Amino acid sequence: MSALGFWNRSFLVFLFLLAPIVPVSGDEAAQERLRQDVRVLSSPAFEGRGVATKGINLAADYIADQFKKIGVRPAGDDGGYFQHFTMYGATLRRPLKLLLTGPQGQRIELVPGKHFEVLGMSAPTPGTIATGLVFAGYGISADKPLAYDDYKDIEVKGKAVIVLRDAPRIGNRFAPFGGNDRQTYASFTNKMQTAIKNQAAAILFVSDYDTAKDGDELLPFSYLATVKRPPEIPAVHLRRSVLDGILRSNGTSLRDLEKQIDADLKPRSSPLTGWQIELTITLERGNVLPVKNVIGVLEGKGPLARESVIIGAHYDHLGYGGPRKFVPIEKSEHSLRCRRQRFGYRCFIGNCPTFRQPEEPRRSASCLHCLQC
């Protein structure tokens, strides 16, 4: 059994049961300390504490430091606070390559992190894919009553398709792809499955205008790295400027095409004549994500010292949105979402000093901050 399953199934006692012990009045210093913990752990630097983000390690380090400050003894691996293990997900390997060649001899080597990012739910490429490019609008095939099909009358078999995120007219709440239809047709999963159905070799996502209007940010690989059983197609997130450059060489622009689609809800899909892509994605999927629990012990005293109370809370959360939120996200959403999980941590750290009162006897307290699956 995994370390995570061991603690979750056998020993975890949720600290919210002890909430009344947390100071609620008369101790301003303690209350300010707890508020500061919440501010830190919900700040943008912690990236919503997604298990595949850098922010989750910052959170673990912060919690371990708080344990040390309040006198909780390390009880993790090798005398430290951390208990290391792995969980399911994907990690990028090398080589990684995205090269574009154009009809006038253009040769553009795109840089990971600057021009594109591999999606965490991507499949690896079988070696290197070398093929033509097709612009497939929003990558949506919807039956009646929507009757909108970006793949109608174009051939994408064996090609790499470039599709916009989200759906047409999405800025209008009365848009045909609003509500549940947006979740159905605008998701990464649906667009990848639709590309597979049309036998595309790879899919390149580009942020739509509404998503990118405050900044064309690339989704980090970690955003979808923990998705289980993703569609089997290589997938990347591409900057709008890259696609716009390709389209302008063919006599149009990305913004013009978006406006035309929004105007009459008719697809503007077409092959990108003369443009080719060479794409290499190497990744590993399985129990490969290195993660850790944070564990410490407050020693007991007197005749009850050999008895233990095990208390805990999880410190991970949904990062930039989680596997169910495949439609575009707001830039600041990770900070707002992770504040909802402050309660367990606040009670947890707030109660640890309570167990250090000098009165005897007292039981030992094992303090765990675990990841939650």
DSSP letters, 15-48, are GGGGGGGS--SS-HHHHHHHHHHHHHHTSGGGGG
Tokens of 155: 């051939």
Answer yes or no: are the C-beta atoms of 100 and 110 closer than 8 Å.
yes
- N residues, the chain: 373
| pLDDT over 90 (residue 278) | yes
**More confident call, 54 vs 265:** 265
**Can you tell me the distance from the alpha carbon of 99 to that of 279, in angstroms, rounded to the nearest whole number?**
7
Lowest mean pLDDT among 99-113, 116-130, 163-177: 163-177
| Greatest mean pLDDT range, 40-44, 54-58, 332-336, 345-349 | 54-58
pLDDT confidence of 77, banded at 50, 70, 90? very high
For Cα atoms 283, 284, 285, give the angle at the middle one, nearest 5 degrees: 125
pLDDT at site 321: 54
Strand-pair category, 160-164 with 308-314: unpaired
**Can you tell me the distance from the alpha carbon of 330 to that of 217, in angstroms, rounded to the nearest whole number?**
11
| pLDDT over 60 (residue 24) | no
What is the average pLDDT across 284-296? 89
Lowest mean pLDDT among 2-6, 66-70, 242-246: 2-6
- Enumerate domains of the chain plus CATH numbers: 3-71+299-370 (no CATH), 90-285 (3.50.30.30)
What is the average pLDDT across 309-320? 70
**Can you tell me the distance from the alpha carbon of 113 to that of 98, in angstroms, rounded to the nearest whole number?**
12
pLDDT at site 299: 80
Q: Is the peptide bond before 230 cis (omega within 30 degrees of 0)?
A: no
pLDDT at site 215: 93
| Amino acid identity, position 372 | Q
**More confident call, 32 vs 154:** 154
**More confident call, 170 vs 112:** 112
| pLDDT over 90 (residue 161) | yes
**More confident call, 76 vs 332:** 76
| pLDDT over 50 (residue 11) | no
b/e sequence 117-129, b meaning 16+ C-beta within 10 Å = bbbbbbbbbeeeb
**Can you tell me the distance from the alpha carbon of 300 to that of 31, in angstroms, rounded to the nearest whole number?**
26
| pLDDT over 80 (residue 47) | no
Lowest mean pLDDT among 8-17, 254-263, 280-289: 8-17
Tokens of 28: 């301003």
Q: Is the peptide bond before 220 cis (omega within 30 degrees of 0)?
A: no
Answer yes or no: are the C-beta atoms of 317 and 19 closer than 8 Å.
no
- Nearest CA to 315 out of 294, 289, 288 is that of 294
**Can you tell me the distance from the alpha carbon of 279 to that of 118, in angstroms, rounded to the nearest whole number?**
11
Whole-model pTM?
Answer: 0.76
| pLDDT over 50 (residue 106) | yes
pLDDT confidence of 73, banded at 50, 70, 90? confident
Distance of CA 43 to the CA centre of its chain: 16
pLDDT at site 319: 58
| pLDDT over 50 (residue 10) | no
| pLDDT over 90 (residue 174) | no
**Can you tell me the distance from the alpha carbon of 253 to that of 368, in angstroms, rounded to the nearest whole number?**
54
Q: Give all strands (DSSP E) within the chain, no chain letters.
A: 73-74, 82-101, 107-109, 116-118, 129-135, 141-142, 148-149, 160-164, 202-206, 235-238, 270-298, 308-314, 364-370
